[in-house]
Amino acid sequence: MPLSLLTLNLGAPSLDRARRQLAWLADRPEDVFVLTETKATPGTKHLADTFTAAGYAVTLPHHADGELGVLIVSKTATRPDPLTDHLDYLPARATGVVTHTDHGPLRILGAYVPSRDATLDKTERKKRWIAGFQAALDTTRTDTPVLLLGDLNVIEPDHQPPHRGQFAPFEYDFYRDLTRRHGLLDLYRHHHPDRIDHSWARRPELGYRYDHAHATPDLADQLLTCAYVHDTRTPQADGTRLTDHSGLAVTLNLTPATRLLTSDPTTVATQHDEPEFTLF
C-alpha cells in the first residue's frame, strides 16, 4: 500500500467539534495526518489523547497559553525530526517526524504559518517566524527527502483570483524560497500545472489556496495523487462545518516500513479527567 497523508486546518476546535473531526478522520484512509491550528484546549487534547490511546504515533509540541500549532498523527512508526530543536520563536507552529519507507527515511514536517493583518506587530511576527523557520530548515537539511505539509497562510504569486494588495513581497518570497532556497516543489502545482482550486474562501468567488504540500524533487517523482478534499467545509444538516478549510491529500509511491497496530479511535474510551500523560 502506498504512503498517504492528509493535512487539515482544524480551526482551534471546541471539544464538540473535535469529536466530530475525530469521527471524520477515523474514516479517512491516510496513514499520516498533519493537523494545523491546534491549541491548548480540550478539543485538541481530546484528539491527541484519543489517537494515542488507539495506538497511533502522536506528535504534539508544547503550546503556550493562547498559542496555535501543529499536531501530527501517524499509523506508521515515527521518531522526532530535529527541526523542532531549532525553533525558538512560536515553536508550536512547526513540528516534524521521521518515518521509514522502502526507499529509506522520510522527513514529514508540519507548519502553521502565522497570519497577519495591517498592523506592524502582526507583520513583524510573521516575518520573524518565517525567518526562524527557514533557518531551521537550513540547519537541519540533509540528503533525507522532505515533505512539508500545512497551512502556510500564503498563496502562489500567480494565484487566481490574484488578491492584489493583500500579500506583501516577503510573503510571496517565502513561497518562492521554499523552492529556490530549500529545494521543495509545490506538489499540487507540480501535479496540476493549470488547475485552479482553493482551500479556504470567504465567498465562493474569492477563494485562497492556503494549504500546501511541498517536497524535495525525489518525492515529486514518487507522487501518485495530490488533491483537495472539500467536504470538510461543506455545511452539514445542522448548518455547521467540520472546519472552514479543505484538506489536502497526498499519495506517494512509497511503502511504510512499519505500520502500527491501531484501533478505531472513535471506540476508544479516553480518561479526560485523569489522563495517563500530559501533552500541555
Asked if 115 and 154 touch (Cβ cutoff 8 Å), the reply is no
Q: C-alpha distances in angstroms, 50 versus 37, 99, 100, 272?
A: 18, 21, 24, 9
> What gap in Å lies between CA 191 and CA 212, rounded to an integer?
13
DSSP helix/strand/coil, 45: helix
Query: Which range of residues forms the domain containing residue 53?
Result: 3-267
Number of domains in the chain: 1
Instruction: Flag whether 273 is in a domain.
Output: no
Give me the pLDDT at residue 238, please. 79
Instruction: Flag whether 222 is in a domain.
Output: yes
Give me the pLDDT at residue 227, please. 98
> What gap in Å lies between CA 60 and CA 48, rounded to an integer?
8
Instruction: Flag whether 188 is in a domain.
Output: yes
Q: Is the four-CA dihedral 214, 192, 26, 2 of positive or negative sign?
A: negative
Interior angle at CA 230, CA 228 and CA 233, nearest 5: 140
> What gap in Å lies between CA 4 and CA 21, rounded to an integer?
19
DSSP labels, 71-93: EEEESB-EEE-GGGGG--SSGGG
Using alpha carbons, select from 90, 108, 91 the residue that is nearest to residue 99: 108
Give me the pLDDT at residue 99, please. 98
Instruction: Flag whether 88 is in a domain.
Output: yes
Instruction: Flag whether 175 is in a domain.
Output: yes
Give me the pLDDT at residue 277, please. 39
**56 φ, ψ to 5°?**
-75, 155
Give me the pLDDT at residue 276, please. 43
Instruction: Flag whether 280 is in a domain.
Output: no
Give me the pLDDT at residue 13, please. 96
Asked if 200 and 232 touch (Cβ cutoff 8 Å), the reply is no
> Domain containing 195 — which CATH number?
3.60.10.10
| Ranges of the chain whose pLDDT falls below 70 | 269-280
Find how far residue 192's CA is from the centre of its chain: 20
Instruction: Flag whether 276 is in a domain.
Output: no
DSSP helix/strand/coil, 17: helix
Amino acid at 271: Q
Instruction: Flag whether 52 is in a domain.
Output: yes
> What gap in Å lies between CA 10 and CA 21, rounded to an integer?
8
Give me the pLDDT at residue 240, please. 87
Q: List, in sequence order, the alpha helices (H) in 27-168.
A: 42-53, 120-139
Give me the pLDDT at residue 204, please. 76
Most distant pair of Cα atoms in the chain: their distance: 51
